[in-house]
Chain A
Amino acid sequence: MNIITEKLKKGILIFDGAFGTELIKRVKSVGTVPENVNLTRPEVVSEIHRAYLDAGADVISANTFGANRFKAGEKSDEIISAAVALAKQAAGSKAPVALDLGPTGRMSEPMGDTSFEEFYECYKAAVVAGKGADLVLIETMSDLTETRAAALAVKENCDLPLIVSMTFDENMRTFTGTPVDSFVYSVKPLADVIGVNCSLGPGQLIPVVERILSLSDKPVIVQANAGLPDANGVYGVSPEEFAGYAEKFRRMGVSVIGGCCGTTPAHIAAIKSKVGRENLFKPASPPPAVASATRTVYLNGVTVVGERINPTGKKAMKEALRSGNMRYVTERAVEQEDAGAHILDVNCGIPEVDEAETLVRLVRHLETVTDLPLQLDSSDPTALEKALRRYSGRAVVNSVNGEQSSLDRVLPLVKKYGSMVIGLTIDEKGIPKTVDKRIEIAEKIIAEAAKYSIPESDIIIDCLTLTAGAEQQQAVNTLEAIRRLKSAYNVKTALGISNISFGLPCRQSVNTGFLTAALWAGLDLAIINPNVRENIECIDVFNVLSCRDKGATNYISKYSDPAKNPNGSDGGVTANADLGYLIRRGLDGSEAAAEKLLASGMSGDELIEKILVPALNEVGTAYEKGTLFLPQLIASAESAKGAFNAVKKYMKTGTGTAKGAIVMATVKGDVHDIGKNIAATVLSNYGYDVIDLGKNVPPEDVVDAVKKHGAKLVGLSALMTTTVRNMEETIQLLKRECPSAKIMVGGAVLTKEYAEKIGADYYCPDAQSDVKFASEVYGN
C-alpha cells in the first residue's frame, strides 16, 4: 500500500494545473530552461504552488518538468532539488508533492540516437536529486522506450508511488506511433496509476480515456489541456467547462484529475467545487494481449506464432547468429510477417554466442524491422531478464515449466514486466505420459503464478508435442489435455506443431493433420512455420468451419485470386529479353532472364563478367557524364541484384565469391543513413561483400568489424558538421588499429579538402565513385 492508494480509497485526487502559463504571467522572460526560476525566482514558484493549493489541489507537482539532464544540463540536480524543497515547503503537511518528470526531448534508437540505458541514467539521476518528493509523475511521454526506462528508473531507485501518463492525438497514438493499447499493456505493470495528459482538450480526450479505462485494472489519471491555444497563446476552455468535463471523467471512472497546458488555479478551483468526491473506478479485466511499441495483438481466435528465428536444427540461422548477420534475421522476420504471423518467437540459445547479449541485440534489431510483438524463447533466466527489460512492449515469455527452480526464477520476471508466460507441462520427473499428469503440472504452474498475482489470463499452457513416430499415443493425450484445460481454466494454450512429424515421411501431412486436430481441441497459439502454405491454409479453413471468418469473406478473397504473384510482377517482359538491356534500363525481370541464361549453360562467372559488369559500367559512365541521373543508376543496380541472386541460387557452391569485404557505417551521433545505404547497395550489386553496420556506429565497432572480416576498405558517412568529428575519430582509430585498410568517406557535409584534412584516403561525391575506389583497392 502507498499513500496514493490510501488516499484513493477515500475519494478522487485533484492534481494541480499548468505551471508554465502561470509563470509567464509573473516573470518577464523565460529562457530555454524555464525551471531555472527555482533558483532565480523561488518566491514566484512558491506563490504558484500556494495558488494551486488554495484552489483545492490535493497533490501539487514540483516545478521539475523539463529539468532533466538532457534538457537542463549540469544544473539539473540543483534545480530539481531546489524545486522539490520549494514545493514541500509550500505544501507543508497539507498535500503530497509529486516529482514531475517530462520527456527528455530525445528519440530512442533506432529512429533516434538515444539508448534505453542513456534514458534510464537520466531519469535515475532525476529521481535521486528529487528524493524529497512523496510520489513521482512521469508525464507527457510519446516514446515507449523512454517511458519504460523512466518507469524502471523510478521503481528501482526509490519506493515512491508512480504515475505514468502518455500523450495521445486524435488518432489514439502518440507522436511516435504508440497506440493506447500498447501503452496500457506495457506500462501498467510498472506503475501504480496510468493515464493521459496534454495534446488535446478534455472533450477530444474522451475516446482515449474510454479506451484506457476499458483496459486498465489500475487507477486512471487524466490531465487535459484547456483546449487548443490561439495565436496569442490563449487557451479556449473556461474553468466551468473544464470542470464539467472533469465530472464526466469521474463518472466514467477516472480517479485522478488535473489540468495541463493552459489551465489555471481557477480551473482547479472549479473542479474542486463542481466535481463529486466519490471514486467510481472499477478495475477492468483486460483481455489477453501482447504488444510491440506500435501494435497490440489480441489473443482471440487462432494466433500464429512464427517459429523461424530459432537456430535449433537450422544451420543457416545458427550461422547468421554466430556471425551477426542481422540481414538474414530481418529476412526471416519480414517473411513470416508477410505470411501472416501475429507474433514472432525469438530464440538464440546456442553455445557459440552469449545468449543474453544476443537476445537483447535481436530484440533491438527486430523492433526496427517489424511491428509484431515478440515471444522471448530462452531457458536462461538472465537472457530473459535482459531481453524483457529492454523490450518496448509486452512480450510472451517462452517458457516456465513445472520444475520449482524454473518457476522461482522466471515467474518474478513475468510479474515485474507484466508479460504473458508459456508454461510447459514438463517437470523434473520428465515428460508426462498421461493426460492427468499434464493437467497436474499445468495446475501447479497456475497455482505458483497466482502466488505472484499473475492471473490465469496471462498464462499459456503448452501440453507438449511429442513425435508421433516414437510416441504415437501422446498425440491424443496432448489433445485431450488441451480440451480439459480450456473447459476448466481461463488459460490460453499453445503448441509447437512441427515436432509431431519428426522421423515420419510426408511430414507436412502429419503437421497439417495435427494442427487441425489441435485447433478443434481448443488450441489458441499455433507455433509454426507460416511460410509453409499448408499451415496457413489449415488455419484459414478452420476459421471458416468454426464460423470465425464470417461469411468466409477472408477465405474467399484470399484464395479466389490465382493471378496474385506476391513476388512482384515480371513487368510483361518475356524471358528472352536481353539481360544487359534490362540492367541498362533498370527494369524488372532480370532474375528470370538470368536464370534462363544459366539454365542454357552459361556459367555464373561468365554471366557476371560478360553481361552484368559491362552493363553496370555503361550505366556508371553515363551517370558520371550526366546523361543518366541517380534514380536511374539505382534502378539499374537493383536490376543487377536480381541477376546476382539468380547466379547465387544456381551456383550453390562457391562461384561468384565476393570480390572483397567492405565495411560501411554512418558514424556515431548521426542517423542519416540513406546515402550510405544507397552506396552499400551499389557496391553489393557489383559483387562486393558489404558489411553494413548501420547508423550511429561507435568507432570501436567499425574497427572490430574490419578486423573480423579482414576488410581492406571502409566507407564512412556523416551528414552534419557536429558528427563529422566522430568521423575523424573513427579514421584515427582505424589508422592505429587497422593501418592497411583504406578509408572512403561521403556525406553532404564533406568536401574533398575536408576529407583529406581528416585523413581519409578517398572522397566520394556520389554513389558511383565508391565503385571506382573499391575496384582500385581490390584490383578488380
Chain B
Amino acid sequence: MEIPRAEVLRYLGWRKQPADAATLDAVERMCGAVIKHALPRGVFARYSYKDFCLAEAEYELKGNDIAKHLSGAKDVVIMAVTLGLDIDRESARLQRVSVRDALIFDAAASAAIEAFADEFTERMSNELGLPIGMRFSPGYGDFPIETVSDIASLLHADKRIGLTVTGSHGMIPLKSITAVAPVNAGCDGKRKNCAACLKTDCAFRSEKQ
C-alpha cells in the first residue's frame, strides 16, 4: 500500500505554505508508522440493483444522491474496508507522547484508508471481471449515515474484518470506509477530485481541477 504524500498534506490543511524539514521528516516517519501498524482488510458483496434496492436483500438505498450516482447500473457492490484497530491504538498512544506526530499520523492514516479503498476497488473489479465506478459512502449528500450499520450487517463485517459500529453509526476501527459503487456503469474507474463534491466550504477542499 502506497500513501500519497500530497493527500497527507491536504488532510493537514496544507495550502502551499513553506513546509520545513522537521515537518516533512515527521510526515515520512508517520507514513512509515501507519504502514507498520496497519492490517488492511476488506469485504464486499455484489447485488442486483432494482427500484433503488439491493434486490437480493430487499434493502432500499435511501436518498436522491445515491440514486443519481447509481443511475444506469444493473448491479452494484457494497464494500467495507478497514486499516484495523492497531491504528486506533497507536493514534491514542501518540496523542500522549507527541500531539504533532499524532496529528500527522491521523492524516497519514486517512490518506492510507482511501488509498486502500482504491486498491480494493481494483481487486473487486478484477475478481468480477467488470469495471467498478466511483464509490459513494453513507453521509455524502443525502445518503443517510444510518446506512453504515446496514452495510456492515449485510457484509457480516464484524466477523469477517473486525469492523464494528457505534450507536451513532460511526465505525470502529476509526480508519474504515463503507460504500456503494456501481458495477459496469457510470464509471471511468478513477476517483474524481474535490471539484465534483457538493461541500464547497470543506477545509480540506483541494484546489486541483
Contact = CB atoms under 8 A, between A and B. Distances in A.
Interface string A364-375: 000011000000
A553 interface: no
A395 B86 CA distance: 23
Interface stretch (A249-257, A445-453, A633-641, A732-740): A633-641
Residue in B104, B127, B165 with the greatest tally of chain A CB atoms within 10 Å: B165
A107 B164 contact: yes
A585 interface: yes
Contacts of B169: 720, 722
Nearest to B166: A113
Contacts of B168: 113, 669-670, 720, 722-723
Contacts of A671: 166, 170, 172, 174
Interface stretch (B18-26, B62-70, B182-190): B18-26
Interface string B1-43: 0000000000011110111101100100000000000000000
Nearest to B98: A638
Nearest to A146: B164
B71 to A, nearest CB: 23
Interface in B50-81: 55-59
A677 interface: yes
Given A231-B128, A672-B174, A721-B145, A176 B162 contact: yes
Interface in B174-209: 174, 201, 203
Contacts of A631: 12, 23, 26, 100, 103-104
Given A30-B56, A31-B58, A629-B17, A678 B99 contact: yes
A646 B130 CA distance: 63
A29 B12 contact: no
Contacts of A32: 57, 59, 150, 153-154
B6 to A, nearest CB: 14
A142 B162 contact: yes
Interface string B78-103: 00000011101101100110111011
A511 to B, nearest CB: 30
Contacts of B173: 111
Contacts of B154: 31-32
Interface stretch (A98-106, A274-282, A434-442, A554-562): A98-106
A714 to B, nearest CB: 21
Contacts of A234: none
Contacts of A175: 84-85, 161-162
B115 to A, nearest CB: 20
A626 B203 contact: no
B159 to A, nearest CB: 5
Interface in A610-635: 626-632, 634-635
B166 A167 contact: no
B158 interface: yes
Contact of B170 (A230, A629, A670, A677): A670
Contact of B172 (A30, A33, A112, A174): A112
A186 interface: no
B205 to A, nearest CB: 13
Interface residues of B, number: 59
B166 A634 contact: no
A177 B12 contact: no
A677 B162 contact: no
Interface in A104-143: 105-107, 110-114, 140, 142
Contacts of B104: 631
A669 B167 contact: yes
Contact of B127 (A102, A231, A586, A634): A231
B89 A177 contact: yes
Nearest to B44: A231
Contact of B92 (A71, A102, A368, A632): A368
B145 A720 contact: yes
B111 interface: no
Contacts of A114: 166-167
Contact of A111 (B18, B99, B127, B172): B172
Main secondary structure of the interface of A (DSSP, over half): loop
Given A368-B92, A670-B168, A637 B99 contact: yes
Contacts, number: 154
A765 B13 CA distance: 12
A330 B167 contact: no
A105 B58 CA distance: 21
A25 interface: no
A383 B68 CA distance: 58
A19 B20 CA distance: 58
A674 B159 contact: no
A334 interface: yes
B91 to A, nearest CB: 7
A28 interface: yes
A698 to B, nearest CB: 13
A677 B165 contact: no
Contact of B165 (A106, A231, A635): A106
Contacts of B22: 585-587, 635
Interface string A69-109: 00100000000000000000000000000000011011100
A693 interface: no
A227 to B, nearest CB: 14
Contact of A585 (B20, B57, B100): B20
Interface in A299-346: 330, 334
A495 B187 CA distance: 69
Contacts of A230: 127
A468 interface: no
A401 interface: no
B85 A111 contact: yes
A637 B100 CA distance: 9
25 contacts: A29-B55, A29-B56, A29-B57, A31-B58, A32-B154, A33-B153, A102-B159, A111-B173, A177-B85, A230-B127, A330-B96, A368-B92, A585-B20, A587-B22, A626-B17, A629-B13, A631-B26, A631-B103, A635-B22, A635-B100, A670-B166, A671-B172, A678-B102, A722-B146, A722-B168
Interface of A: 28-33, 66, 71, 102-103, 105-107, 110-114, 140, 142, 167, 174-177, 198-199, 230-231, 233, 330, 334, 368-369, 585-587, 626-632, 634-635, 637-638, 669-672, 674, 677-678, 681, 719-723, 751, 765-766
